[in-house]
Amino acid sequence: MKTLILAEKPDQAMKYCVALDRSKTEAGLKKTEQRNGFVDLGQTEISLQTVVTWGYGHLVTLFEPNDYDKNYKKWENRPMPLFPEKIQYKLTDSAGKQFKLIKKLLKEADQIIIATDPDREGEAIAHLIMEKSELDFSKKEIKRLWVNNQDYDDLLNGFKNLKEAKDYEGFSVEAKTRAISDWLVGMNLSVFYTQTLRKLGIKGTFRTGRVQTPILYLVYAREKEISLFKPKAFYTIELLGELEGKPVSFKKSDKFESQELLSSFLKENKIKKSQKVEIKSVNKEEKQDLAPPLLTLSDLQGKASDKYDYDFDKTMEIQQSLYSKGKTTYPRTSCEFITTAELDYLTKYKEDYKTFLGLEIDLNNSPGKKHVNDKKVLEHFAIIPTKKVPTAGELTDEEMNVYKIILEHTLLMFMEPYQYEQTKATVCLNDQEFTTTGKVMKNLGWKKVANQAKKSSETDKELPMLEIDQEVELETKINEGKTQAPSLFTDKTLSGKGGALENIQKFVEDKEKGKILKETKGLGTPATRTEILSKLVEHGYLERKGKQKQLVTTNLGKGLCIAVEGSFLANPVTTADWEEHLENVGLNKISSETFIKNIKRTIEEEIKNFPKRVEPKKEVIKKLIPNKLGI
């Protein structure tokens, strides 16, 4: 049997070759056989003849408008909307020679192993190559390599335990549907918006995107919210006293929006400047906090930003390199769990990781369902180290920094919980409860590592000895505060873990709709969010300002946002909905055709409504965007 392994890129293919034949090296293969476009390994543990070939990322891409009709090269010749009768694909400019070779090897193979990246995009890359070859695969055995790291031993194990390719075909359908919908939105609305605005005397080229423009609009909406914000005064009540020489403070959570409401409350409840009150209740509870969840890409980006001031792009690039070097697992994950299989090897090597970090800690805790859950892991698990720690000089300084973050964070789940005693005491004035809480640390546990205890937002506060019915003299203190405007977004607060794009439901007034959106994965993915922000900066719509690198719209960005205000592109909820539908396409719950039909209908409505909606705003946009924009 002749087996063909189809990798996504040369570096990946070289790793597969070494995993299957340890007499070879990646460096040696790059010098000799990589130039041939394939490597014939001969007989291996998985086949009598094994051949490895590769693409260069996307060898097959969607037609450009002028590929459908050469006259469409000029925007004014394109029909609006432009909906090709049949979506077509072409080879990229540099793909010809390699594609021809891959097609020949596909034809000769008895078994084909799809070994592109283990994600939706990787699946689409392989399927597009195979579809473009126009070969009959009905009599060929097609398998899928799905391994979340690039360690040679794990890769070999993956080749010995291949998956059924058909189980992953939905990912390809989802990725292709996403690409088509992005093409339809971009090719139609970028052109239509630009032409319409030019007719109104507004120069420039306005790039739009199904996910890109709603993200831009979120930044603009936050700026607008801040500019319109007017601080309001509020008042809170605090009862202060002393017991056993220690200060004690009882607080009420209510905020009073005016002095009149405050005075009325104080009078109704007979609260004086000073009073003796009895303690109504004292509750002491032993509590513990388990180590935080394992790392997703967003988590890692946030931590690297906090510790080393790395921007999100940089961290993603570093993490991709660590993955390629076989030191950490698949980088573009949004899952914070691992399976029992990963736990087994992490348990085996945890002492090696500890020694590498130079830590003197006990790793005797057994991680539970907060970290290990086979049912929660679908295509990818959390970012963790692989079995082998780096040797001296194997990683750059920046790679070492990020690697240590991953290593350290992974070890936390093997440490004891953070344990503390929490006390809550209550006093009452005319049935109005005032409370105080205190916390006494019993065991730092996982917070011993990396000064986690100092970084914790929780501050230990030891209370004096409190007993029920104990009488205490308390003075009334009125605190005045002012409401604070929201902050400008940063990469972390917009696209990081717990950020706006992940929690898009916070921007929805409809509570029922918000509940539904809370169950979705938000707007974009951790990886695409980072890429989109970079494009928005690169194309001149956003810029980062100040030490905190806050995201602000440029005049061009503001102009586009004002223009699209009122459209689906100004509504991130619509795009989040579409992301959920796209996932359902991948799960075969709805058809690709149904989703694309919905996208087309939305584009048609926007083309109909945009001119009359933007016309009254033209003078405002003109002031923002000069007539001569070199875009």
Q: Is the pLDDT of residue 489 over 90?
A: yes
Q: What is the pLDDT of residue 411?
A: 97
In a domain, 629, yes or no: no
In a domain, 86, yes or no: yes
Q: What is the pLDDT of residue 58?
A: 92
In a domain, 134, yes or no: yes
Average pLDDT value for residue range 111-125: 96
Q: Is the pLDDT of residue 130 over 60?
A: yes
Enter the pTM of the model. 0.89
Average pLDDT value for residue range 419-429: 95
Among 454, 341, 328, 334, which residue's Cα sits nearest to residue 395? 328
Identify the residue with better confidence: 212 or 203: 212
Give the separation between CA 31 and CA 33, rounded to whole angstroms. Answer: 7
Q: Is the pLDDT of residue 457 over 60?
A: no
Same domain for 495 and 378, yes or no, is no
pLDDT one-digit tens code per residue, 524-574: 888 889 999 999 999 999 999 998 999 999 999 999 999 999 999 998 888
Give the separation between CA 461 and CA 450, rounded to whole angstroms. Answer: 22
Same domain for 532 and 590, yes or no, is yes
Locate 57 and state its tokens: 């990322």
**What does 381-433 look like in DSSP terms, one character per residue?**
--B-B-SSPPPTTSS-HHHHHHHHHHHHHHHGGGSPPEEEEEEEEEEEETTEE
Q: Is the pLDDT of residue 136 over 80?
A: yes
Q: What is the pLDDT of residue 630?
A: 39
Average pLDDT value for residue range 261-286: 95
Average pLDDT value for residue range 101-123: 97
Same domain for 494 and 573, yes or no, is yes
Q: Is the pLDDT of residue 98 over 60?
A: yes
Residue 401 confidence class, pLDDT cut points 50, 70, 90: very high
Percentages (nearest 5) of helix, strand, coil residues in the chain: 45, 20, 35
Same domain for 461 and 497, yes or no, is no
Same domain for 519 and 585, yes or no, is yes
Residue 452 confidence class, pLDDT cut points 50, 70, 90: low
Q: Is the pLDDT of residue 609 over 60?
A: yes
Contact in structure between 427 and 434 (CB atoms under 8 Å): yes
Q: What is the pLDDT of residue 204?
A: 84
Locate 286 and state its tokens: 């032993």
pLDDT one-digit tens code per residue, 6-31: 999 999 999 999 999 999 999 999 98
Where is the domain boundary, 482, 497, 518?
482
Same domain for 194 and 258, yes or no, is no
Q: Is the pLDDT of residue 453 over 50?
A: no
Same domain for 127 and 44, yes or no, is yes
Q: Is the pLDDT of residue 152 over 80?
A: yes
Same domain for 360 and 439, yes or no, is no
Identify the residue with better confidence: 512 or 60: 60
Could you list the residue range(s) of the whole structural domain that residue 144 is in?
Answer: 2-161
What CATH number should be reported for the domain holding residue 48? 3.40.50.140
In a domain, 386, yes or no: yes
3-state secondary structure 379-394: CCCCECECCCCCCCCC
Sheet holding 163-164, edge to edge: 38-42, 49-54, 2-7, 111-115, 141-144, 163-164
In a domain, 167, yes or no: no
Average pLDDT value for residue range 21-47: 94
Q: Is the pLDDT of residue 272 over 50?
A: yes
Residue 631 confidence class, pLDDT cut points 50, 70, 90: very low
Give the separation between CA 429 and CA 407, rounded to whole angstroms. Answer: 52
Q: What is the pLDDT of residue 526?
A: 84
What CATH number should be reported for the domain holding residue 368? 1.10.290.10
In a domain, 156, yes or no: yes
Q: Work out how many domains the chain is built from and give that number.
A: 4
Contact in structure between 383 and 297 (CB atoms under 8 Å): yes
Q: What is the pLDDT of residue 450?
A: 57
What CATH number should be reported for the domain holding residue 259? 2.70.20.10
Q: Is the pLDDT of residue 629 over 60?
A: no
Same domain for 22 and 126, yes or no, is yes
Q: Is the pLDDT of residue 455 over 70?
A: no
Q: What is the pLDDT of residue 574?
A: 85
In a domain, 338, yes or no: yes
Contacts of 369 (CB under 8 A, 6+ apart): none
Same domain for 380 and 266, yes or no, is no
Same domain for 20 and 69, yes or no, is yes
Where is the domain boundary, 133, 161, 189?
161
Average pLDDT value for residue range 332-355: 96
In a domain, 168, yes or no: no
Indicate the average pLDDT of the chain.
Answer: 93
pLDDT one-digit tens code per residue, 545-555: 998 999 999 99
Same domain for 127 and 23, yes or no, is yes
% of residues, the chain, pLDDT over 90: 85
Average pLDDT value for residue range 67-72: 97
What CATH number should be reported for the domain holding residue 209? 1.10.460.10
Residue 628 confidence class, pLDDT cut points 50, 70, 90: very low
Where is the domain boundary, 414, 436, 471?
414
Q: What is the pLDDT of residue 460?
A: 62
Q: What is the pLDDT of residue 244?
A: 84
